[in-house]
A and B are shown apart, each in its own frame.
Chain A
Amino acid sequence: MTDDGLEPGAAPAFVPHTAEDTRAMLAAIGVEKLADLYSEIPPELLGPDLSALPEGLGEMDVLRLAHERLHRSEPLLFLGAGAYDHHVPAAVWEITTRGEFYTAYTPYQAEASQGTLQVIYEFQSMMAALTGLEVSNASLYDGASALAEAALMALRLGGAAAGAAPARVLVPALLHPSYREVLRTVLDPQGIEIVSYPWDPARGTHPAAGLEEALSVTSARAVVVPQPNFLGQIEDVHALTAAARAGGARVIALVNPLGLAVLEPPGHWAGEGADIACGEAQPLGLPLSAGGPYAGFLTCRREFVRHLPGRLVGRTLDRDGRVGYTLTLQAREQHIRRAKATSNVCTNQGLAVTAVTIHTALLGAEGLRRTAAVAHARTRALLEALTGIAGVEAPWTGPFLYETVVRFPRPARAVLAGLHARGILGGLDLAPHLPELGPGACLVCATERRTPEDIVRYRDALADVLGAPPS
């Protein structure tokens, strides 16, 4: 092996060439060495110093290293905040990682991609059904990027307040802090302002009167209505939607898709419904996996379909009249429209969408409803158990959906550290995000995977950390 790494016979890793193959192929091309293939590249650019790279390892050694690095004792999870620990049926990822799904690409050649295309069509159908809207795209990167694309789309739609009105989007004060940041990153370059409408700290929700006033002051053209909000509290989405419409704004619903198994879908909010719905599909079959890959979804009313960003699959017929599926309305997209496209989005979250589709098919409406209901019952039981400890309280008495706030008598940061030392991830410290709630505020969540015994463990550990006897 010489220094340039281009000697025939050296083919390592996944290159199948024998020395003889390489020689024969070079001869067919009419050159002597691999290096000759780079004859058009300025010689001063060739052969960089790669000595800082490690030697390659065999599969056994890499997997051993992965195992060593990732191994840890698994804490009991009572943390949600946008990523939820739900049961995923064994079949979901067994099938999703079949090579035929795993190693295919975007279905440009429809006849050779009917599997992927039908899966996406089924996904679109499922998201449309869950949100109560007519049209869904093939997914976006994650919940935050779906919200950003939804905001851009809503502004493209215009509406009663369009035209002279400045480009502003109204978002709830209780929006996931990361979603707010992503909105800023994406909307700022286009000069779009993001303004919050107020929440009521006495209830943990956004009163419609506050939205009305914010709309009249800002003339915003789009309003984001969450269900539930960042703190898990159930909003009066009918009143918020009606207020947004009265102010001439488009309504973007930001929803947990599992929550929609039990909650009124955006398509029915205030009768007429929201214009667009979006959110994070992670609760439908995607493991926590350190934050991704997840999948964002985006659905809308049929009349807005040409403003949708991202891939769309349609059902059509082939030359023999057989039903088949194909990418459609591609004239909206970057590879055709270039600088005038609805978005720079290219692919979707294909494999994650495959998992969401299989998961949702396996659970069905009844399975999703029970999952949400049991998760909710567990969180109610958790709240009751924790507030039984002296000094721990629930700030509000209104409805929530399987995630809510408790207030510890000491800073949540320290309490959570104490719980972590006892093998429990006790929730999200809210002090950095909502200091007005006080230093003890903590966002807690119990999914259907937490047992009543797990909840007792949390309660006992918390009592121990706080130095209070369990009541």
Chain B
Amino acid sequence: MIPLVFELGRPGRRARLQAPAEDPALDDLPPALLRREAPALAEVSELDAVRHYTRLSQRNYAIDTHFYPLGSCTMKYNPRASNRAALLPEFLALHPLAPEEDLRGYLTCLLELEEMLAVVTGMRRVVLNCMAGAQGEFAGVSIIRAYHRARGDEERREMLVPDAAHGTNPASAVMAGFRVREIPTRPDGDVDLEALARALGPHTAGIMLTNPSTLGVFERRIVELARLVHEAGGLLYYDGANLNAILGQVRPGDMGFDVLHLNLHKTFSTPHGGGGPGAAALGVHERLLPFLPHPFVVDDPKEGPRWSRPEDAPRSIGRLASFHGNAGVLLRAWVYARLLGREGLRSVGPYATLNANYLAVRLRALGYELAYPTRRAGHEFLVTLRREAKTYGVTAMDVAKRLLDHGVHAPTTYFPLLVPECLLIEPTETESQETLDAFVEAMAAIRREMAEDPERLRGAPWTTPVRRLDDVRAARVLDLAWRSGGASSA
């Protein structure tokens, strides 16, 4: 166990060189508004802190250290060049409200990235001011709402969402003021078009769709689906969570989507950072241009690239960020896009799909059951352990935890909710065949263990810094912050 940083050091110890030596009086501030008691923070030397956080970092599995086939998250290699550019001192010192002439070089990079993304998605225009995928979804469905309103179509307040969708989809739709109606999925993994047709009507605002879906398969009747929704007066929202499967080969704009977001931290390889910061690119069809969130970059023929002004976006859904979005993430995505270029971007989808299909075939040969055996996998695929759960009494969670002992980060478990005891496996295009083969070996060993020593599985992981944690206790005896004096839970 590594103690908390608050438990290290001694009262009065500090990293003296990191704060000013001066200690001027605050004699101009009213005493009643001054802090009476210092906050209980760490009291450590610089070495104490550096060693502590370095040691903590070593308690993580990460792409740089482990194969990380976490489905739906596209854990591909994050180029160090991206980080180098985003940490250039001139960029770090750039104030967001600096005059635009100081920002031109950065804005030029953003314009280039926008244009490249517009080409690979088939959208009329892409903007980069959303700070996460979920915020991109909120912006996208808000645009759908603004579009219908602008046409006086106030009745369109229902958003359709397939039952396999990410949880953010319905949550974003509700935040944007919609009612949500779920559309069922057929046993073969495609959306039930008959049920969709029955749900469509004058109240339909649109549909939110991921393609390939969260089930890892391509929506084969997408063209017909788009036609049905458009004929009913609705719009199509593309959740770009799975764009990596088809990047450079198929464009959401060509499938009939009107608005989309894509996660730059997935498809464009910016770091996941332990859970953020992400960034979303938001793309729209021509007719939705007036509603884009602001500020966005304007390629002004006279001034050069600049931020949009209120008069550039009078019908905008509004602002989403304190400033202009997650600039450092966008610059990293720009580096990735420029490194790959046309040939690189065109190869992402095919090789991601190759790796997923290869793993699916190899795991099936070991006896693992694919959730959609008649379908071609996209860039990820679902294994269901429902048979093993019955036969051996082991769960998807047990297999996931045991993989940690084999030096592999677990795939996504128990998502989507439609498939029992599932593992969602996404290897990405940057993994080599030998890494995939080592994963297959691990899964083979685990399979043997199911029959020979299921307790070993149920007790896993054995080699990590801690063993399985008591989640029930965590929620019941809520301990969310350290307090001085030791009484950490109330």
Q: Which chain B residues in 295-354 approach chain A with CB under 8 Å? A: 317-329, 331, 335, 338-348, 350-351, 353-354
Could you give 7 example pairs across A and B, Cβ below 8 Å?
A62-B85, A112-B410, A116-B274, A130-B39, A190-B175, A292-B327, A350-B275
Q: Is the CB of B474 within 8 A of A316?
A: yes
Shortest Cβ distance from residue B144 to the other chain A in the assembled complex, whole angstroms: 11
Task: Return the chain B residue nearest A265 by Cβ.
Answer: B35
Q: Which chain A residues in 335-386 approach chain B with CB under 8 Å? A: 335-341, 343-354, 357-358, 360-371, 373-374, 376-377, 380
Q: Is the CB of B400 within 8 A of A104?
A: no
Q: Is the CB of A5 within 8 A of B43?
A: no
Task: Return the chain B residue nearest A35 by Cβ.
Answer: B350
Q: Is the CB of B322 within 8 A of A143?
A: yes
Shortest Cβ distance from residue B3 to the other chain A in the assembled complex, whole angstroms: 9
Q: Is the CB of B344 within 8 A of A105?
A: no
Q: Which of B192-200, B216-224, B230-238, B449-457 contacts A (4 or more CB under 8 A)?
A: B216-224
Interface residues contributed by chain B, number (CB under 8 Å): 200
Residues on the A chain within 8 Å of B105, using CB: 68-72
Q: Is the CB of B60 within 8 A of A25?
A: no
Residues on the A chain within 8 Å of B246, using CB: 38, 41
Residues on the B chain within 8 Å of A361, using CB: 5, 41-42, 44, 49, 52-53
Task: Return the chain A residue nearest B17 by Cβ.
Answer: A89
Q: Is the CB of B28 within 8 A of A399?
A: yes
Knowing A126-B41, A141-B132, A264-B33, the reply to whether A374 touches B20 (Cβ < 8 A) is yes
Q: Is the CB of B248 within 8 A of A344?
A: no
Residues on the A chain within 8 Å of B95, using CB: 77, 79, 83, 85, 288, 290, 425
Interface check A28, CB cutoff 8 A: yes
Query: In the bound complex, what is the Cα–Cα distance between A322 and B271 (angstroms)?
Result: 31
Q: Which chain B residues in 153-177 approach chain A with CB under 8 Å? A: 166-168, 170-177
Q: Is the CB of A344 within 8 A of B273?
A: no
Q: Is the CB of A262 within 8 A of B131?
A: no
Q: Is the CB of B171 within 8 A of A341?
A: yes
Interface string of B15-38 (1 = CB under 8 A from A): 100111011111011101111101
Interface check A29, CB cutoff 8 A: yes
Q: Is the CB of A292 within 8 A of B466?
A: no
Shortest Cβ distance from residue B270 to the other chain A in the assembled complex, whole angstroms: 10
**Given known contacts A115-B59, A288-B94, A357-B53, what 4 new A-B pairs fall within 8 Å (CB)?**
A30-B361, A100-B65, A101-B274, A319-B459
Knowing A37-B376, A189-B145, A260-B39, the reply to whether A178 touches B354 (Cβ < 8 A) is no
Interface check B446, CB cutoff 8 A: no
Q: Which chain B residues in 213-272 approach chain A with CB under 8 Å? A: 217-218, 220, 222-223, 246, 248-251, 254-255, 269, 271-272
Q: Is the CB of B34 within 8 A of A263?
A: yes
Interface check B277, CB cutoff 8 A: yes
Query: In the bound complex, what is the Cα–Cα distance between A110 and B91 (angstroms)?
Result: 35
Query: In the bound complex, what is the Cα–Cα distance between A377 and B24 (angstroms)?
Result: 7
Residues on the A chain within 8 Å of B187, using CB: none
Q: Is the CB of A89 within 8 A of B15?
A: yes
Interface check B201, CB cutoff 8 A: no
Residues on the B chain within 8 Å of A293, using CB: 131, 276-277, 279, 326-329
Picked from B65, B138, B249, the residue with its CB within 8 Å of the CB of A47 is B249
Residues on the B chain within 8 Å of A58, using CB: 339
Residues on the B chain within 8 Å of A1, using CB: 343
Knowing A103-B271, A354-B274, the reply to whether A115 touches B58 (Cβ < 8 A) is yes
Task: Return the chain A residue nearest B468 by Cβ.
Answer: A319
Q: Is the CB of B482 within 8 A of A234?
A: no
Query: In the bound complex, what is the Cα–Cα distance between A238 and B31 (angstroms)?
Result: 12
Q: Is the CB of B23 within 8 A of A53?
A: no
Residues on the B chain within 8 Å of A370, using CB: 19-20, 22-23
Interface check B120, CB cutoff 8 A: yes
User: 4 tightest CB-CB pairs across the interface, nearest first?
Assistant: A56-B341, A99-B64, A291-B323, A351-B273
Q: Is the CB of A141 within 8 A of B135?
A: yes
Knowing A63-B81, A99-B63, A129-B40, the reply to whether A288 touches B92 (Cβ < 8 A) is yes
Shortest Cβ distance from residue A15 to the other chain B in the assembled complex, whole angstroms: 5
Q: Is the CB of A343 within 8 A of B15?
A: no
Query: In the bound complex, what is the Cα–Cα distance between A17 and B347 (angstroms)?
Result: 11
Residues on the A chain within 8 Å of B432, using CB: 16-17, 21
Interface residues contributed by chain A, number (CB under 8 Å): 206
Q: Is the CB of B347 within 8 A of A12?
A: yes
Most buried by A among B73, B116, B322: B322
Interface check B191, CB cutoff 8 A: no
Query: In the bound complex, what is the Cα–Cα distance between A79 and B323 (angstroms)?
Result: 14
Q: Secondary structure of the B side of the interface?
A: loop
Interface check A26, CB cutoff 8 A: yes
Residues on the A chain within 8 Å of B461, using CB: 111-112
Q: Is the CB of A326 within 8 A of B88?
A: no
Task: Return the chain A residue nearest B335 by Cβ.
Answer: A62
Picked from A87, A111, A338, the residue with its CB within 8 Å of the CB of B469 is A111
Interface check B368, CB cutoff 8 A: no
Query: In the bound complex, what is the Cα–Cα distance between A260 and B36 (angstroms)?
Result: 11
Picked from B96, B167, B478, the residue with its CB within 8 Å of the CB of A314 is B478
Residues on the A chain within 8 Å of B28, using CB: 380, 399
Interface check B382, CB cutoff 8 A: no
Interface check B57, CB cutoff 8 A: yes
Q: Is the CB of A55 within 8 A of B50?
A: no
Q: Is the CB of B480 within 8 A of A124?
A: yes
Knowing A185-B317, A262-B26, A317-B470, the reply to whether A334 touches B168 (Cβ < 8 A) is yes
Residues on the A chain within 8 Å of B269, using CB: 14
Query: In the bound complex, what is the Cα–Cα distance between A411 and B116 (angstroms)?
Result: 41
Query: In the bound complex, what is the Cα–Cα distance between A145 and B134 (angstroms)?
Result: 12
Interface check B420, CB cutoff 8 A: no
Query: In the bound complex, what is the Cα–Cα distance between A23 and B73 (angstroms)?
Result: 27
Q: Which chain A residues in 254-280 approach chain B with CB under 8 Å? A: 260-265, 268, 280
Q: Is the CB of A100 within 8 A of B350?
A: no
Query: In the bound complex, what is the Cα–Cα distance between A304 and B321 (angstroms)?
Result: 26
Q: Is the CB of A38 within 8 A of B353?
A: yes
Interface check A74, CB cutoff 8 A: yes
Interface check A420, CB cutoff 8 A: yes
Knowing A25-B433, A46-B249, A69-B108, the reply to whether A346 touches B168 (Cβ < 8 A) is yes
Knowing A13-B344, A105-B272, A344-B137, the reply to whether A29 touches B60 (Cβ < 8 A) is no
Shortest Cβ distance from residue B253 to the other chain A in the assembled complex, whole angstroms: 9
Q: Is the CB of A329 within 8 A of B433?
A: no
Knowing A13-B347, A52-B119, A144-B322, the reply to whether A371 touches B20 (Cβ < 8 A) is yes
Shortest Cβ distance from residue A296 to the other chain B in the assembled complex, whole angstroms: 8
Residues on the A chain within 8 Å of B371, using CB: none
Interface check B14, CB cutoff 8 A: yes
Residues on the B chain within 8 Å of A174, using CB: none
Shortest Cβ distance from residue B82 to the other chain A in the assembled complex, whole angstroms: 9
Shortest Cβ distance from residue A376 to the other chain B in the assembled complex, whole angstroms: 7
Q: Which of A159-167, A305-313, A387-395, A461-469 contacts B (4 or more CB under 8 A)?
A: A305-313
Q: Which of A132-140, A196-204, A208-216, A243-251 contacts B (4 or more CB under 8 A)?
A: A132-140
Shortest Cβ distance from residue A139 to the other chain B in the assembled complex, whole angstroms: 8
Q: Is the CB of A360 within 8 A of B41?
A: yes
Shortest Cβ distance from residue A367 to the other chain B in the assembled complex, whole angstroms: 3
Picked from A66, A234, A364, the residue with its CB within 8 Å of the CB of B109 is A66
Q: Is the CB of B274 within 8 A of A105?
A: yes
Task: Return the chain B residue nearest A179 by Cβ.
Answer: B322
